[in-house]
A and B are shown apart, each in its own frame.
Chain A
Amino acid sequence: MANNRVLVVGSGVSGWAAALNLASSGVQVSLVEQAPFLGGTLTQVERQFPTNRCLMCTLLPVTERVEAGEFCLRRDFYHPFIDVHLLTSLEAVEGGAGDFTVRLVTRPRYVIEEACIACGKCEAVCPVEVPDPFNGNLSKRKAIYARSPQGIPNVYCIDEAACTRCGKCVEACPTEAIDLKQAAKTWELNVAAIVVAAGFDLFDPNNLLQYGWGRYPDVLTSLQLERLLSETGPTGGDWVRQATGEPVKKVAFIQCVGSRDLDHPYCSSACCMIALKEAMFVKEKDPDVEATLYYMDLRDFGKGYTRYREQAARMGVKFVASRVPDVKYNPQTKQLLIRHMDDSGAVTEETVDQVVLSVGQAPSDRSGTLAGLLGLEKDEGGYIVATDLNTTATRRDGVFICGSVREPKDIPDAICEGEAAAAQAIRWVEGPVVREEKEPHPEVTLEPPKTGVFLCRCGEEIAARLDLPGLAETLRRREDVAFVQEVDYLCLKETADFLVKQIKAAQANRVVFAACVPYRFERQFKNVVKAAGLPENFMAVTSIREQVAWVHEAGSGQARRKAEAMVAAAIDRVAGEIPRTHAMQQVTGKVLVVGGGVAGLTASRFLADQGVPVDLVEIEEDLGGNFRSTHYLLGGSDPQTFLGDLIDGVRGNENIRVLAKTRVTAREGSLGRFVVTLETPEETFKEVYGGIILATGAKEHEVTEYGYGSHPAVVTMREFGEKLSDPSMPPPKDLVIIQCVGSREGDHPYCSRFCCSRALAHAMEVKQRWPECQVSILFRDIMTYGNRERAYTEAREMGIHFFRYTQEEKPAVETGEKGVTVRFRDPVLGGQVTIMPDYLILSNGAEADDREDLAGLFDLETTEDGFFKEAEVKFRPVDAPEAGIYLCGIALGPKNVNEVIIQAEAAAARALTVLRKQAITLPHVKAWVSPRRCSACEMCVPACPYHARVKDEDLGYVVVREALCQGCGVCTTVCPNNAVKLISYQENQVFSMIDRMALG
């Protein structure tokens, strides 16, 4: 049986990325979540580093936004190809890749989702109060609750464990939505592949009693502080001392709580940055607050993170490299006492008002259960193990893992993995899928607008607070209103037939729904309108519940006039709607990959295996890129065997054409049809592609310091790796490695991310081969995030010496006839150390290549550090700002090879969302240019944030790249000639809305 369905377990950000990517590729997705609400841990966190903004909505598909819902991702999550099953867990799996039968259990919500109107009457009468875990237990909620004001779905559920079955809520519910007799349901599903994105549990600080969490009111977890700082948090954003209610003057962040210790042999990867962010937020609240981070290594290894740390330092955030052993409480002052040791070993005591424990990402219980029932392996930290080189594949075919279920990580990595897992899962799905053409729009009469208005009473929620009969009477006076009908509950499914009949009977040709929030119901109302034979855009929803009835004084005349103006404006807007036209964009099912390093090779092979023809362009003669000089990796994989296999796989693939010594010199066209000019040594020609992947890599940072070049014993890490790979290398006695050479300072304020791992891999290889050899690593912060931490521990156990140095006091190097002398201060013993090593090895990082040519051709921007900028650093990590162009590898920023591989797969997955289709159906055109009015001044071209505008040289005016247009309307504002029309927001529509609002 053809199976076009994938099961995604877990609806955190990684699961979302996987599900959305699969759905956009035409695959049916069943997304199961064990919680009663969607979104995972991220829903508790409002703003992200390093942007200090939310930007979650950027995760939504670009070419299918209208289908997928055009709303904030904290309020709605919808895609027609994704079935969401809440309170559901995977119980058993049978069969194999391509044909799994999974057994799922859906636990009762006790609230019928479709019937709940989120009025909150049940909550008001519920007598049971329990701590609210959403707010880190800093506030209370009832046994029947809706998760924060932003839960998806925005309906109630009953906390089974807390509920006493008193039945008060059942009586209070106006829509009979509560059913205490609901039972768990076991069901089966046939799927081609399974993606496990089960996330993590926050470390429970009850396991570390020395910090006093739970006993001292002002010892908080980082998540608790996050909630306290949030406007939707337990205190509405008021951040004070929990013990006294006084302002906080001094706050200490203690890092690595539940990470990097004997029981937790991993680094949680994101906590340093979370602490930095929170420290900045408290400084924003009150610049006089003293905020200090006590850390072991400050792991600012992500893109733009070192600059973020510098920004925090400029705001006055302080940093102390010391692990705080415990927290003491002064009952008189209700303050907290912490101790830390400085470099000399002297202990300093600090009194602070609040302590924030940076709790790590612990493996979740359910990941253990899932590993068990799927037959997957776990590591000693408790994470599920992926196959070699850390891709998302597991030892079971057809089962893939992504996100923190396999290793603690930050959002962009979790998203890349989600997308990579989606790409892997697609291999097992029957396909490729071609979307059917959309049903044609209904014929529209050219009769003058006659609008039917439905006023939802929402039981009493609106009706008791707003004079609806009065409102109806006023509206009925309008000639263009066909009818005004009050309805008890517009949202109830059984009302739909009545609505359709009413529209038809009154021969209304436009409809306005004055009701509640559009998130859940707009789709439902669109179906009503369609069933009544009207185009789906001939309707509007206006929120008179959330924006009038619930927020203004009941019965107030002003509020009534506001509601009137809102409904009148909605009537005017739909009156101005014009029938929309479908656009079809043909897709050329071929891809161009630029760059023949690991990233480009991986993406090429991946897409070719899916049947996509690939042109792989490499500027040099040979394939392999920088990775050709990598000989040792942590984890023991042999890099050159891997690379050799990868290159052979590419060369031997009939779907891949390798074009060596080739440049891209021009491009025209856009998503679905890029016309690219390629210049090989023999010829110059044009080729058409549906999508483009740029994987152009970066170069090695050129070392000028520490005596490099003055003595043969001073070598770069790459050079040392080459020497080490030569079996005839004579045994060294003493080696010194200096980390962060040209990284995280001066002109290079970024971490190159791979140097620490590479240094450890080399040092451990030396120690294994020559145990007598002394190896000293001089570092600033060791960046062994995630499971790399284990290698750091192992290295220390092997007797490799680590000495921390600071930017202010760097190691001194002298070279002469006698050799190389390195002098540095030992921060632990305090004395000066002098070593004359056989080799002084400089761990130099990566530097951006100057690729202005490509940036110009593909409308890319570069970061201050010269790397390509993605569409959004957290939520769209491999998309270029222009749709249809994808980025991966170290052209985006330095990273380790497993991350390069995952990014390449993610970029391939993103490209597949286009390449799997023969054509992209555009639900409707959003902006168009009047050729008569356009003077081709091109002001709109750079103004468009989506690269959706281009001057058509043949036509002589600017045209809209329809697939790219998101309908933001910036073009309408910059156009001096009024040549741009924005559908649904044409000038006459907005004018009439303004008029209603100003005059009503």
Chain B
Amino acid sequence: MEEFEPKIIGFFCNWCTATAADLAGTTRLQYPPNLRPIRVMCTGTVDPVYILRSLLLGADAVFVGG
């Protein structure tokens, strides 16, 4: 059986998490590509509907970073 690889949708705050994701790149910090990033100006904008839609469309998890 194929090993389970979750698909994660991430909502990244422009001011911190998106910056951190770029910083991870600058420092060549390796991590799995399962996390799909969506940059938002503030995680305050992450409507619960966005999370539900992500899960309904097949995301195994949602990450909100702010």
Contacts and interface: CB of A to CB of B under 8 A. Distances in A.
Contact of A967 (B30, B41, B46): B41
B19 A559 contact: no
A547 B37 contact: yes
B41 A551 contact: no
B59 A543 contact: no
Contact of A994 (B16, B38, B42): B38
B23 A990 contact: no
A993 B46 CA distance: 13
Contacts of B54: 994, 997-998
B19 A75 contact: yes
Interface string B26-47: 1111111110111011101111
A990 B21 CA distance: 20
A973 B14 contact: no
Contacts of A973: 44-48
B9 A57 contact: no
B27 to A, nearest CB: 5
B25 A517 contact: yes
Interface string B41-66: 11011111110011001110000000
A565 B36 contact: yes
A552 interface: yes
Nearest to A556: B33
Contact of B26 (A149, A556, A966, A991): A149
A985 B40 contact: yes
A649 B40 CA distance: 50
B24 A994 contact: no
A550 B24 CA distance: 9
Nearest to B41: A967
A57 B22 CA distance: 17
A979 interface: no
26 contacts: A57-B15, A71-B15, A71-B19, A72-B15, A75-B22, A75-B23, A149-B23, A154-B26, A232-B27, A517-B22, A543-B25, A546-B23, A547-B24, A549-B25, A550-B28, A552-B32, A552-B33, A558-B32, A968-B44, A973-B47, A985-B40, A985-B45, A990-B40, A994-B53, A998-B54, A1000-B36
B10 to A, nearest CB: 8
A74 B49 CA distance: 32
B26 A968 contact: no
Contact of A997 (B14, B38, B42): B38
Q: Which 8 A-B pairs have the closest CB atoms?
A: A546-B25, A969-B45, A970-B44, A968-B42, A998-B57, A997-B36, A149-B26, A72-B19
A543 B9 contact: no
A550 B45 contact: no
B42 A970 contact: yes
A118 interface: yes
B64 to A, nearest CB: 12
A651 B46 CA distance: 53
Nearest to A57: B15
Interface residues of A, number: 52
Contacts of B21: 543, 546-547
Nearest to A563: B33
A517 B24 CA distance: 11
A993 B40 CA distance: 11
Given A551-B30, A552-B33, A562-B36, A969 B25 contact: no
B44 A562 contact: no
A878 interface: no
Contacts of A999: 57-58
A561 B37 CA distance: 12
A547 B3 CA distance: 24
A796 B46 CA distance: 60
Given A982-B45, A997-B54, A998-B58, A71 B31 contact: no
A227 to B, nearest CB: 15
Given A970-B42, A970-B45, A997-B54, A551 B14 contact: no
Contacts of A429: none
A584 to B, nearest CB: 23
A70 interface: yes
Given A551-B31, A559-B33, A998-B36, 13 more contacts: A75-B19, A543-B21, A549-B25, A551-B28, A553-B30, A558-B32, A966-B41, A969-B41, A973-B47, A993-B38, A994-B57, A997-B54, A997-B59
A553 B30 CA distance: 8
Interface in A516-559: 517, 519, 543, 545-553, 556, 558-559
Q: Which of A967, A985, A994, A1000 has the most CB of B within 10 A?
A: A994
A972 interface: yes
A994 B9 contact: yes
A74 B22 CA distance: 12
A569 B23 contact: no
B66 to A, nearest CB: 10
Contacts of B29: 551
A985 B41 contact: yes
Nearest to B27: A149
Contacts of B22: 75, 517, 519, 543, 546-547
A160 interface: no
Contacts of A722: none
A945 B45 CA distance: 12
Contacts of B44: 945, 968-970, 973
A371 to B, nearest CB: 38
A150 interface: yes
A178 interface: no
A114 interface: no
Given A75-B19, A991-B53, A998-B9, A566 B37 contact: yes
B45 A552 contact: no
A995 interface: yes
Contacts of A991: 50, 53
A550 B25 contact: yes
B59 A969 contact: no
Interface string A841-874: 0000000000000000000000000000000000
Contacts of B40: 969, 985, 990
Contacts of A545: 25
Nearest to B52: A994
Nearest to B45: A969
Interface string A562-582: 100110010000000000000
Contacts of B46: 973
Contact of B38 (A149, A519, A561, A990): A990
Nearest to A53: B16
Contacts of B50: 990-991, 994
A145 to B, nearest CB: 13
Interface in A705-733: none
A74 B16 CA distance: 10
Contacts of B31: 551-552
Contacts of B27: 149, 232
Contacts of A998: 7, 9, 36, 53-54, 57-59
A587 to B, nearest CB: 26
A991 B9 CA distance: 12
A972 B25 contact: no
A57 to B, nearest CB: 6
A552 B49 CA distance: 30
A552 B19 contact: no
Contacts of A150: 23, 26
Nearest to A75: B19
A551 B25 contact: yes
B24 A551 contact: yes
Contacts of B47: 972-973, 987, 990
Contacts of B59: 997-998
A116 B31 CA distance: 26
Given A71-B14, A72-B16, A556-B33, A997 B41 contact: no
B9 A997 contact: yes
Contacts of B16: 72
A566 B36 contact: yes
Contacts of A232: 23, 27
Interface string A42-74: 000000000000000100000000000011101
